[in-house]
Amino acid sequence: DGQMEISPDKPTEIEICSASVFYGKERILENLSLSIKEQRVGFIGRNGSGKTTLLRILAGLQELNNGKVLIDGTEVAKKRNEAIKKVGIIFQNPDHQIIFPTVGEELRFGLTQLGLSKNEADLKVIACLKQYDKVDWFERSISTLSQGQKHLVCLLSVLLMKPRVLLLDEPFTGIDIPTQLKLEHYLSSLKQTIIHVSHVPETFENYQRLIWMDEGIIQADGTPKTVIKKYRTAMKNYDEKTI
Ligand code: ADP
């Protein structure tokens, strides 16, 4: 029925246990518990509904006021060295993610963080660029890349580290449809678990599971078809209330 079929060696298990995040008095996530074994999972919700915060706790980048997050048993916020091997995050804006002036330096960085020498890292970077038919990008200045190309650099820099889980925060913002299709094509072939956050329902049509978040809690959790229907109805009602 159009769902993706990807067979991993062993499914990655993500456990969010009673997670709460507050900013001052504002509750962003409230006592959230979720168990995820599916390989393609979406989170949908309005702006400000806590989606980015959720990705940050999954990556171990955000302190929890309560609870914990485990990926294959590792508490990602506590064991940072293990966490960077388990989970990679791609932010909404590649300009906030990329730190080096050239593609080669950017892609090399994560690998040297994992302990590889510069030469070992460069061999992997070049092999990876070849795989995507972009070997001429090695010396390329980041500033000469389009937005979609920068997104691809972010994706490759994360994939090079071979994480078990890929976290995507609205990765299609500001890119045109052909570029989006190309990125979707790259993503669909990956064996990693993908947790993808967006406010665009169509993104998730072929996913195995979709979770709708609002005001820090889960409003619906199920197949994309049923969750999208509930979400659309609710969003329409918001419109009627606000205009
Ligand atoms: P989404 O990704 O769904 O748009 P976020 O997780 O980015 O939602 O934000 C949820 C809420 O938390 C928003 O109201 C936002 O203003 C607030 N928020 C996010 N980061 C911070 C922060 N560092 N300090 C205070 N409030 C924050």
What digits encode the pLDDT tens for the residues 68-88? Answer: 999 999 999 999 888 988 999
Q: Per-residue confidence at 186, pLDDT binned at 50, 70, 90?
A: confident
Burial (CB count <10 Å: 0-12, 13-18, 19+), residue 51? buried
Q: Is pLDDT of 119 > 70?
A: yes
Q: Is pLDDT of 164 > 80?
A: yes
CA distance 228 to 174: 23
**pLDDT computed for residue 52 by the predictor:** 92
- pLDDT tens digits for range 8-49: 567 899 999 999 999 988 989 999 999 999 999 999 999 888
CB 183 within 8 A of CB 158: no
- Secondary structure in 3-state letters for 127-185: HHHHHCCCHHHCCCEHHHCCHHHHHHHHHHHHHCCCCCEEEEECCCCCCCHHHHHHHHH
138 alpha carbon to ligand 1 midpoint, in Å? Answer: 36
Mean pLDDT of 92-97: 90
Q: Is pLDDT of 4 > 60?
A: no
**pLDDT computed for residue 166 by the predictor:** 96
> pTM to 2 decimals?
0.89
Task: Pick the residue whose CA is nearest to atom 6 on ligand 1.
Answer: 50
109 alpha carbon to ligand 1 midpoint, in Å? Answer: 29
51 alpha carbon to ligand 1 midpoint, in Å? Answer: 8
Percent of the chain whose pLDDT exceeds 70: 94
Query: 184 is written with which tokens?
Result: 């979707």
SS3 32: strand
Question: Helix %, strand %, coil % for the chain, to 5?
Answer: 40, 25, 35
199 alpha carbon to ligand 1 midpoint, in Å? Answer: 15
**Integer angstrom CA distances of residue 214 from 8, 36, 194:** 31, 19, 21
Mean of pLDDT over the chain: 90
Q: What angle do CA 238, 230, 45 make, to 5 degrees?
A: 60
Q: Which residues pair with 35 in a beta bridge?
A: 15
139 alpha carbon to ligand 1 midpoint, in Å? Answer: 37
Q: Is pLDDT of 242 > 70?
A: no
**pLDDT computed for residue 5 by the predictor:** 42
Q: Is pLDDT of 127 > 60?
A: yes
Give the total residue count for the chain: 243
Q: Which of 27, 46, 52 to mutate to test the pocket of ligand 1 (most atoms within 8 A of CB)?
A: 52
SS3 6: coil
The closest-lying atom of ligand 1 relative to the alpha carbon of residue 46 is: 3
48 alpha carbon to ligand 1 midpoint, in Å? Answer: 6
Percent of the chain whose pLDDT exceeds 90: 69
CA distance 43 to 57: 14
CB 78 within 8 A of CB 47: no
CA distance 41 to 118: 35
Name all residues whose Cβ lies below 6 A of ligand 1: 23, 28, 45, 47-53
Task: Pick the residue whose CA is nearest to atom 22 on ligand 1.
Answer: 23
CA distance 174 to 96: 14
CB 226 within 8 A of CB 211: no
**pLDDT computed for residue 103 by the predictor:** 97
**pLDDT computed for residue 243 by the predictor:** 55
Q: Which residues pair with 27 in a beta bridge?
A: 22
CB 221 within 8 A of CB 211: yes
